[in-house]
Structure 1
Amino acid sequence: MSKVTRLRHALPLGQDINTAVSTLDKAIADAVDVAKAAGLPQGLIVSLLHGHAHAQTHQMVCQ
C-alpha cells in the first residue's frame, strides 16, 4: 500500500487532483444517469459501483 496517499496528509489538494476528481465524479454521475435512463434497476447500479470500488480497494491493498 505504499502508493496509497491519505488525503488528510496531502491537503490542500493540487489543482490537477481537484480537476481529476471533478472529472471522475462527473463521468460516474453521467454513467449512472445513462443507466437509469436505460431502465437498469437502482440496486444493480449500486451493486456494480460497489463491486468496482471493492476491486480497486483490493488492488491497492495487494500491490
Structure 2
Amino acid sequence: MSDVTRLRHALPLSQDINKALIDLDSAIAKAIDTAKAAGLPQGLIVAELHGHAHAQTHNMVKA
C-alpha cells in the first residue's frame, strides 16, 4: 500500500485533486439519478456502489 496517500498528510489538496474529486462526486450523483429515473431499485444501486467500493479497497490492500 505504499502508493496510497493519506489525505490528512496531503492537506491542503491541490486544485487538480479538488477538481477531480468534485467531478467524481458529480458523475456518481448523476449516475445515481439516472439509475433511479430508469426504475432501478434503491437496494440494487446501493449494492452496486458497495461492490465497487469493496473492489477498490481490495485493490489498495493487495498493492
TM category (shorter chain) comes to: over 0.9
**Could you tell me which residue of structure 2 aligns to residue 27 of structure 1?**
27
Q: Deviations over 1:2-36 (max 9, x none)?
A: 01000000000000000000000000000000000
What is the match of residue 57 of structure 1?
Answer: 57
Q: % of aligned pairs identical?
A: 76
Cα separation, 2, equivalents of 1:60 and 1:13: 20
Structure 2, unaligned runs of 5 or more: none
Counterpart in 2 of 1:6? 6
CA-atom RMSD in angstroms: 0.4
How many residue pairs get matched? Answer: 63
The runs of at least 4 consecutive aligned structure 1 residues that moved more than 3 Å come to none
Distance 2:3 2:42 in 1: 33
Q: Structure 1: 5+ residue runs without aligned partners?
A: none
